[in-house]
Amino acid sequence: MAVYGDIKSSLDAIASHGSQLLHHLESNNATATPSYPLENAPQSIYDARKELVESAIRLVQLATVPEEYLDHLANSYQEVTCVRWLVDLDVLQHLPPSGSIAYSALASQAGVPEKQLRGVARMAVVNGFLEEPLPGHVAHSRASALLARDENYMNWARWMVNYSVPVAYRFSDATRRWGDTDIKNQTAFNLALETSDPFFDHVQKTADLASVFSGYMRAFTASPRLSLQHAIDGFDWGSLPRGAKVVDVGGSHGQLAVQVALKFPHIDLVVQDLPETLATAQQAFNADSSIDASVKSRIQFMSHDFFQPQPVLDAHVYFFRMIIHDWPDKDARIILKHLRTVLERNPSARIVIMDTVLPPPGSTVVQQEQRLRVRDLMMMQVFNAKERELDDWRTLLNDVGLEITNVRQPDDSVMGLLTAQLQPATAADGDDNDDNKEKVPASSLDNDRPLKISLTPATDNQPVLIMGAGIGGLCLAQALKKANIPFRVFERDAAVDSRPQGYRLKLQVDAADALSECLPEDVYRAFQTSCATLAIGETDLCPFAGTVIKSRAGGGLSGNLGLHPSYCVDRAAFRKALMTGIEDHILFNRELASYKSDSERGIITATFKNGETCQGRFLVGSDGLHSVVRRHHLHLNHKLKDTGAACIYGKTPLTSAVLERFPKKGLRWMTVVSDQAPMLQSCYIGDAPVTLLLEPIRFSDASRSQHQLPADYIYWALIGPEQRFRHDDGTAILKAGGATVTQAATEIARLSLSITKEWHPSVRSLFELQDTRQATLIRVVSTVPDIPAWEPSALVTVLGDAAHPMSPCGGVGAQTAVCDAASLARMIIAAQGSPTSQDVGAFEEGMRKRAYRSILHSETGSKKMFGMRPFEECEPWTGY
């Protein structure tokens, strides 16, 4: 079943993102242009392209049988061989920039055998590097055209096929010869190029090699994956105080310093590098007229070897970009110890390391992990260095008395940003003697400065998993769709309408604002036009006479006080609107059985009762009162209370018979009917009220012309002490088993008639004429207002009734869930689907505060409607 789910997920993603790209191409007439068809496309289109490629790779991997792997390997090495042949023999330069050329003509111009050219070129065509638009003619693809017109990319290709590939091929020979070594001239590079010099020494001595390497590095560092913008966006430079000093250690020509200074005019910068680098860097910097004088005045160049003590002692940030990965641990510790010494004198300073952070296997998109694994192997083969996983970075920094306090992995970057500071014990003792320092295990870095990690954004193959297709879950899903954050929704019900779930909802202005924030504009408009007409007022009827006791139009008080809802919503129509555009992301008949968190890989695996599994980056429990997520995540710390009440929800069609029999003044707006215990009975059992709340739900002709809506009806809820909601023999209907949904609804409808048998026939007609298929009975459960805090997780959270169920007597449960969803969406979107535990903790704290107000409101209504006791006197709820 896991393979089925993975293949289906990949196919669904290809269909979804492929359609998005096709729509963009058709809209922009890009199919007819020879240039890159997605050039200048909005970010959402680039994201869709990336997800399409990722899903296609996954699908090929899933569909490939083991026997085909060696075929794949043979194709790969021959592909590299053909590119080398075309590059080394300068064949690409003889291809016309546009149009095609006959093989015979190209062979003559390039001076190569036509037979070999055909074989090589057609292998390149198969792999997308060249094109054969006409039989016997060859042409550039976009990839080959880039190499032909950009010498830096050509040098990248030359470096790869002539140096990187031969070096990689000798890796096993180097291991066999030297084993586990950090020595710089005992590498695969030394064997491949037959030199005893370390890499940089050899490059400096070989002019041709230096020229190719320089061009390769210009192209490589200019690629989006190494963009300086990731450094600008990945660290909070704006939080530094005015006049803050930043040292860019090994900063070369000061490219980063210029970009930081341009965007953050309150920061001064020092660029440090070796004298031979600074000689040309300072000259080029001074001559660059594009850099404003106000920026130049805040940038200083300083000669410094980072293997020597750091001379700048008063900086706020020491920045290392692509430095530490060049060095094995022994050398890296020397570099970092010099910084540790500075931080002992300046403990508020931070070290920011921008370097590769290898992800745990399978925790990020395939292409990203492939790039990072390539970099890791290259570092081993050329320098006897390595790219490091997060635990490696922890250990390295811990060895010199430093700790990681923040990790960010910018999307599409091959480098992450690690922020490090002194370990608290190190900062306190100020002892410069390394031998006397007690090393703290890397796994014990959970101190007063908790580590913030955001490494793996949500992807189509590891989306945000939303358990429950209720109001809160669907609002969250729409918000994630709006922000292009991958998600999937799993609902335990067999279908959207498989059981009755209540009918009318009232939404106040804060929920309306939250909806506007979550929903795409067209979905929000559809929601607005699908709402019922809104009539604000209240009438209280006597249950025994059917007469008006009290009545008042409006919300009760002027201004914003009293009852002033913004929308009156039919629940079924509301859910239908919330599913618009995300239907393919919702899976029904998926009841969660359990889940497993892998915090190291940043992955959560959900297992369903049908045996299917699904992996995701983040799990949201919006699965209601019986939440499996809450049970697993919050355990016994989150106790719910049985309020002692039960409630029947029902629906009565607004037919002519109802209009004739039911009191007319009870059908204008919200109406309340309260049945208090008679005098003597109340002496023994208290008032024990049973309360009926009802409201007519009517739709305008304009709404009906745009949507499929139910016939006008009366929504009602009958609530009271659970003992009143039993069979005549005292047995609880809620515990009856074996009945179908229809049989249970019919029995509950009969119960509503039994409870109200003393009522006036005009009021009772509501129950006599009800749609008996729609009756449903619930036990009224609530959490306490002061919800105990729980330990936040970077992988799991809950919202709505899964987090804070409450009595329906306040009419604010759905509203609170919508606000939860909007708040959670903001947090997930800001973290690109990959929040830290601190992000989640901040959301959950805000949710608990929001729920506190709503639960107090519902408690007030509960005391009036069914005589609820104080929470401390209520029994724990055990109805999981």
pLDDT in tens, 337-351: 999 999 999 999 999
For residue 404, the cross-strand partners are 420
Quote the CA–CA distance of 285 and 255 in Å, as a whole number.
9
In this structure, the answer to whether residues 803 and 734 fall within a common structural domain is yes
Find the mean pLDDT for residues 584-608: 86
**CA nearest to 222, candidates 244, 194, 255:** 255
User: What separation in angstroms does the CA of 182 have from each of 185, 334, 379, 385?
Assistant: 9, 14, 11, 7
Of 116-125, 261-270, 705-714, where does mean pLDDT reach its minimum? Answer: 705-714
pTM: 0.61
Any idea how long the chain is?
880
Of 177-186, 552-561, 760-769, where does mean pLDDT reach its minimum? Answer: 552-561
pLDDT digits (tens, 9 = 90+) for 121-157: 999 999 999 999 999 999 999 999 999 998 888 988 9
In this structure, the answer to whether residues 418 and 541 fall within a common structural domain is no
* Unique residue bearing structure tokens 């830096």: 152
pLDDT digits (tens, 9 = 90+) for 273-310: 999 888 888 888 999 999 999 999 999 999 999 999 99
SS3 493: coil
Q: In this model, does residue 319 exceed pLDDT 70?
A: yes
Residue 484 lies in a domain: yes
In this structure, the answer to whether residues 352 and 473 fall within a common structural domain is no
In this structure, the answer to whether residues 484 and 340 fall within a common structural domain is no
In this structure, the answer to whether residues 428 and 469 fall within a common structural domain is no
Find the mean pLDDT for residues 677-688: 62
Quote the CA–CA distance of 365 and 358 in Å, as a whole number.
12
Torsion of CA 570, 571, 575, 578, to 10 degrees: 60
Q: Which residues, 6 or more positions from 742, have their beta carbon under 8 angstroms from its beta carbon?
A: 773
Residue 478 lies in a domain: yes
Residue 151 lies in a domain: no
* Domain final position from 38, 63, 88: 63
Give the single-character DSSP code of 160.
I
User: What separation in angstroms does the CA of 863 have from each of 334, 644, 866, 873?
Assistant: 69, 11, 6, 13
Quote the CA–CA distance of 818 and 475 in Å, as a whole number.
7
Confidence class for position 457, pLDDT limits 50, 70, 90 = low
The whole-number pLDDT of residue 441 equals 39
Confidence class for position 8, pLDDT limits 50, 70, 90 = confident
Of the residues 325, 338, 585, 804, only one is catalytic, namely 325
Residue 132 lies in a domain: no
User: What separation in angstroms does the CA of 594 have from each of 85, 615, 793, 807?
Assistant: 55, 12, 16, 27
pLDDT digits (tens, 9 = 90+) for 474-499: 999 999 998 888 899 999 888 877 66
5-11, long-range: CB < 8 A, 24+ apart:
5/612, 5/613, 5/614, 6/58, 6/62, 6/461, 7/59, 7/62, 7/63, 9/55, 9/460, 9/461, 9/488, 9/614, 10/55, 10/56, 10/58, 10/59, 10/62, 10/460, 10/461, 11/55, 11/59
Q: What is the mean pLDDT of the chain?
A: 86
Quote the CA–CA distance of 598 and 603 in Å, as a whole number.
5
The whole-number pLDDT of residue 658 equals 93
Of 176-180, 513-517, 728-732, where does mean pLDDT reach its minimum? Answer: 728-732
The more confident residue out of 175 and 599 is: 175
Domain membership of residue 849 as a residue range: 464-866
CA contacts within 13 A on the Cβ side of 521: 0
In this structure, the answer to whether residues 512 and 383 fall within a common structural domain is no
Quote the CA–CA distance of 46 and 525 in Å, as a whole number.
28
Find the mean pLDDT for residues 47-52: 82
**CA nearest to 640, candidates 651, 629, 626, 650:** 626
Confidence class for position 685, pLDDT limits 50, 70, 90 = low
Of 124-138, 213-227, 552-566, where does mean pLDDT reach its minimum? Answer: 552-566
In this structure, the answer to whether residues 402 and 483 fall within a common structural domain is no
Confidence class for position 825, pLDDT limits 50, 70, 90 = very high
**CA nearest to 809, candidates 830, 783, 780, 789:** 780
User: What separation in angstroms does the CA of 132 have from each of 170, 183, 689?
Assistant: 35, 48, 84
Confidence class for position 34, pLDDT limits 50, 70, 90 = very low
Give the CATH number for residue 291: 3.40.50.150
User: What separation in angstroms does the CA of 624 have from each of 173, 436, 806?
Assistant: 60, 55, 11
Residue 598 lies in a domain: yes
The whole-number pLDDT of residue 736 equals 46
**CA nearest to 491, candidates 630, 585, 632, 574:** 585
Q: What percent of the chain has pLDDT over 90?
A: 45
The more confident residue out of 864 and 336 is: 336
Residue 546 lies in a domain: yes
In this structure, the answer to whether residues 423 and 469 fall within a common structural domain is no
Residue 184 lies in a domain: no
The whole-number pLDDT of residue 317 equals 97
In this structure, the answer to whether residues 491 and 639 fall within a common structural domain is yes
Residue 261 lies in a domain: yes
Q: In this model, does residue 431 exceed pLDDT 50?
A: no
In this structure, the answer to whether residues 418 and 549 fall within a common structural domain is no
Judge whether 862 and 671 are in contact, CB under 8 Å: no
Q: 292: phi > 0 → left, psi -120 to 50 → alpha, else beta; which?
A: beta
The whole-number pLDDT of residue 609 equals 87
For residue 783, the cross-strand partners are 640
| Edge-to-edge strand ranges of the sheet holding 603-608 | 592-598, 603-608, 613-616
SS3 324: helix
In this structure, the answer to whether residues 366 and 514 fall within a common structural domain is no
DSSP calls for 162-222: IIIHHHHHTHHHHHHHH-S---TTSSHHHHHTT-SS-HHHHHHH-HHHHHHHHHHHHHHHH
Domain total for the chain? 3
pLDDT digits (tens, 9 = 90+) for 354-372: 999 888 777 777 888 888 8
Packing angle of the helix pair 837-866, 813-830 (nearest 10 deg) = 180
Q: Terminus-to-terminus CA distance in the chain, angstroms?
A: 28
Q: Does residue 633 carry a catalytic annotation?
A: no
The whole-number pLDDT of residue 730 equals 66
Quote the CA–CA distance of 682 and 675 in Å, as a whole number.
12
In this structure, the answer to whether residues 414 and 490 fall within a common structural domain is no
